[in-house]
Structure 1
């Protein structure tokens, strides 16, 4: 018999979940499953040729069980710890043309909407993306995905949304679909044509355009296997799309078979938590301005809240009420919100910010960046924990304890020794 990979000799296997849990809520977010080496016994993992985890356990037991097996690769993880690959629950990675010039404006006191209303922000990036060729967009996307991989991310939610017209939105989705086929990172692809109101249009006109032209055109391409789309997103915000317009667009996406996963309650209270409960949304991102009733609605509907600490940090917003969400039983996930406004590709840094600014524990941050992000994307059957039957997506740290990944502020690259995707080494230090 033969297998793809054997990891042996580790000090810890941080499984996160060990009993098939698909999401963790409340106090359970603090109680992660960790298999510790003891008395000179190391712990390890076996990954099959199909790229799925076959066994997790003590090395002496695995050595006996798999004594007649040959392995394509054996990693000596002596003194190291092993974690699941990280899952970034919210990114905007397809664009060209940076917005460095806007950073100075923000530092001088300009708000996000000040810049947006002056034609900057999303509108600036839309102009750049419309002019870019697919190959230009693809090259920049691949560079970013590779950087995310080196930071330990093995699954990424990735949005369109810098097109706003049918042609460019489809161009962005085509670029994402190409990367889905060619890059080792797994992509959950989100159509986000309602990211902003195009210049010269009203929100009502933009809504009609999305419902009557964009979504039907994308659905047709999906039916012909020319595109794959997983999620539908809307920026439900004052001055962008209101709750009724957002509801219409999200329901149209749901009818197309896409999961509802939208921007809500970021800059103004828009009752997006309540809307998520009404629509039984899979996830809502941001939630800086979520109401108590919105939290309750999301708890009842099982909607995951994807928190983005980088956004509140760079825009100097109040942080989302993570402690209240967790204490009331909401499933909380994390995302980098990588985009020209929040240029962060590092989930370890996001976890660090979640602990310091959102008052989450390190265990909660790890859960939020693994199994709960997987749940937000409907992927918890396959990824988010180190359990038999799941994909062999692993991080091996050159430290005896996993907490170093969160503790080492902006130095996580010093402790990530290997990134493994489907049992294949895709990065090694």
Structure 2
């Protein structure tokens, strides 16, 4: 083995997001520009990765050769990236990837005008998926999750949040979390796991009973498994929504999860303006997702608390929801991140597509969209110390693609599979269009 794991050289552009590795999140107007290292007069740009998979150097090839004269030879792998562009590995801050049974039949209902809650009340939606997921074995769920994660990685994702939430009882929620735990050990992706037992009210239950079940049965079992080292759960989630868990019930669930050592990272203000964002900010939420119906008061509270707003343009698009007021959020100084919300109700796992929709539907600029899908998404998962920028000391997660400028990753709508050549995870080639790496 060489002194260095990987050398990528000759690139036209490297978007570092920020050259300063100490920056953990970008808020408001700070999101409006990204740091770029450009090739100069035939002098390409490069990234040198140490034997631990962390970035040793990023800059011009000539500077690398001067500072690390042996790096061309004492390296395990060299990727010639002549004329290519490099961005940080993409971070998907909100997904529901563990489930059985698709819901393609519901797409026709939605196209015919049925709302999310109308489908839900008709026995479809989450309950349809819960029925199939409860029946599926842990092995069956892992096989499907593993494939989905590799598919996600092929589109440039290197870090991801994965939720439970299609079990809604202790046994099934634990089964889902164990599936995610196996993926944490065995899959190249960095995974932040989320307990979302309060995703819906189980059939035959009530919001009050469901709240008690999550706090008094599910959480104690899960925290016991965490103490034994069988599970490592990072976040607590609740669907804070009219007809599901109200503000008081959501607050109780989130506080119980926080007391168990989990970060607060939940669904808020999606379909109705319940002021979930304000409540979450008061609890010190790490992140709050959706926010289509966030109030001005909620925006101010999140900007003040530092809670990251995770917006999901694919969901607004597929469910024909009013888009979240992202421009107002950014102008107020909030940190905004992006997630795919991949689930059987909104089937999209490609972050380049998410970024494109964020620009078109949410009126984000391309730099804002890239920041939201890298550094800020990592911050929403408490991972930005190690991920989200291409700067010295961080893990070498990157996407190398064949285009004249980095913006083409967003501009070429639906064409990411044609231009992405390599997805690098901790200095290893995790996906390439040239060979199978799975």
What's the TM-score once normalised by structure 2's chain length?
Answer: 0.97
Q: Deviations over 1:209-246 (max 9, x none)?
A: 11111000000000000001000000000010000000
Map of 2:18 onto structure 1: 17
The equivalent position to 2:241 in structure 1, one of 237, 240, 243, is 237
Map of 2:190 onto structure 1: 186
Q: Deviations over 1:247-300 (max 9, x none)?
A: 000000000110000000001011011112210100000000000000000001
Aligned pairs for 1:361-400 (under 5 A) are 361-400=365-404
Distance 1:273 1:217 in 2: 28
Aligned pairs for 1:30-429 (under 5 A) are 30-69=32-71, 70-429=74-433
Distance 2:127 2:280 in 1: 27
RMSD over aligned CA atoms reads 0.7
Distance 2:63 2:374 in 1: 27
Partner SS, residue 363 of structure 2:
coil
By how many angstroms is 1:320 displaced? 0.2
By how many angstroms is 1:64 displaced? 2.5
By how many angstroms is 1:313 displaced? 0.5
Distance 1:406 1:291 in 2: 29
Distance 2:281 2:152 in 1: 32
What is the number of residues matched between the two proteins?
429
What's the TM-score once normalised by structure 1's chain length?
Answer: 0.99
Distance 2:330 2:29 in 1: 8
Structure 1 gap ranges (5+): none
Map of 2:436 onto structure 1: none
Distance 2:65 2:11 in 1: 14
By how many angstroms is 1:400 displaced? 2.5
Structure 2 gap ranges (5+): 434-438
Q: Deviations over 1:47-88 (max 9, x none)?
A: 111111111111011122222241100010100011100000
Distance 1:85 1:323 in 2: 25
Q: Deviations over 1:170-200 (max 9, x none)?
A: 0000000001100101100000000000000
Distance 1:212 1:67 in 2: 61
Map of 2:8 onto structure 1: 7
Distance 1:197 1:29 in 2: 38
Partner SS, residue 391 of structure 1:
coil
By how many angstroms is 1:422 displaced? 0.4
Partner SS, residue 273 of structure 1:
helix
Q: Deviations over 1:344-380 (max 9, x none)?
A: 0100000000000000000000000000001111111
Partner SS, residue 300 of structure 1:
helix
